[in-house]
Every structure is written in structure tokens, then in C-alpha cells.
């Protein structure tokens, strides 16, 4: 239950706001006989709205199978193209050392193997 009070970015969710508003509404119940009698009702309604919006957002795309076969966007490390554009030199790579060198390097600086 407590894991749902914060989102992955560390901020409080609407569920935490709903619980806080509900607690505040309970503390303002003694104002029932005064001119501030509407405050607990407003806080209770705000708490219910926050809870309903949190619940709808939580269940909105949970079971959306239309996106099942969509191709995920490429990661930051993946290139957008599978080939080297014309006019650009490729970076030589040593598979033994797992090192990439600037264009024009013919030997690995660690193992001294020929780079292809």
C-alpha cells in the first residue's frame, strides 16, 4: 500500500493527496456548527476526486493490448541507421579488447592486433 503513495520520480501521487485531504476533513469536523461548516464537505469531495482520478489513471492503460506488437522506440545507445552514411569513415573496433578507436587507427593500442 505504501509503495503506491509515491511515483517513480519520488513525488507524491494523488492517492497520498486523497488520504491527506481525508484526514484534514476529519480534523475539521468540529467546525460543523460554525460559519465554516462547508470546509469538511469540500475537503471530503476533494479527497474523493483525487482518489477517483488516481484510480482511473492507474487502470487506464494497464490492459491495452493494442500496443502489444508496436515496436518500442530505440534506446539512446542504439543508432537510428543500420549502416554508415556515405562520406563518413567507420570507427575501427577491436573485439578482443572491446575498444573502439577513431577512424584511421590500424592497430589496437592494447593488444596490438590489426583492426579491420
Residues 15-33 have pLDDT tens digits of: 788 888 888 888 888 877 7
User: Based on the structure, what is the number of domains in the chain?
Assistant: 1
Write the DSSP string, the chain. -GGGGB-TTS-B-HHHHHHHHHHHHHHTGGGGGSTTTHHHHHHHHHHHHHHHHHHHHHHSSTT-GGGTTSPPPPPTTS-S-SSPPTT-PPPPEETTTTEE--TT--B-TTT-PBP-
Whole-model pTM? 0.45
- Residue 83 is assigned to a structural domain of this protein: no
In a domain, 20, yes or no: yes
Answer yes or no: is 99 within a domain: no
Percent of the chain's residues with pLDDT above 90 = 0
Average pLDDT, the chain: 77
In a domain, 12, yes or no: yes
What 3-state DSSP class applies to 114? strand
Q: Is residue 72 part of a domain?
A: no
In a domain, 74, yes or no: no
In a domain, 13, yes or no: yes
Amino acid at each position: 500500500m505504501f509503495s503506491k503513495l509515491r511515483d517513480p520520480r519520488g513525488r507524491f501521487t494523488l492517492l497520498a493527496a486523497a488520504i491527506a485531504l481525508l484526514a484534514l476533513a476529519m480534523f475539521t469536523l468540529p467546525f460543523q456548527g460554525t460559519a465554516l461548516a462547508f470546509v469538511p464537505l469540500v475537503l471530503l469531495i476533494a479527497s474523493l476526486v483525487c482518489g477517483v482520478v488516481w484510480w482511473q489513471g492507474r487502470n487506464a492503460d494497464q490492459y491495452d493490448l493494442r500496443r502489444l506488437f508496436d515496436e518500442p522506440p530505440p534506446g539512446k545507445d542504439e543508432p537510428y541507421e543500420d549502416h554508415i552514411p556515405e562520406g563518413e569513415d567507420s570507427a575501427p573496433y577491436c573485439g578482443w579488447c572491446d575498444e573502439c578507436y577513431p577512424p584511421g587507427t590500424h592497430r589496437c593500442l592494447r593488444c596490438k592486433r590489426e583492426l579491420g
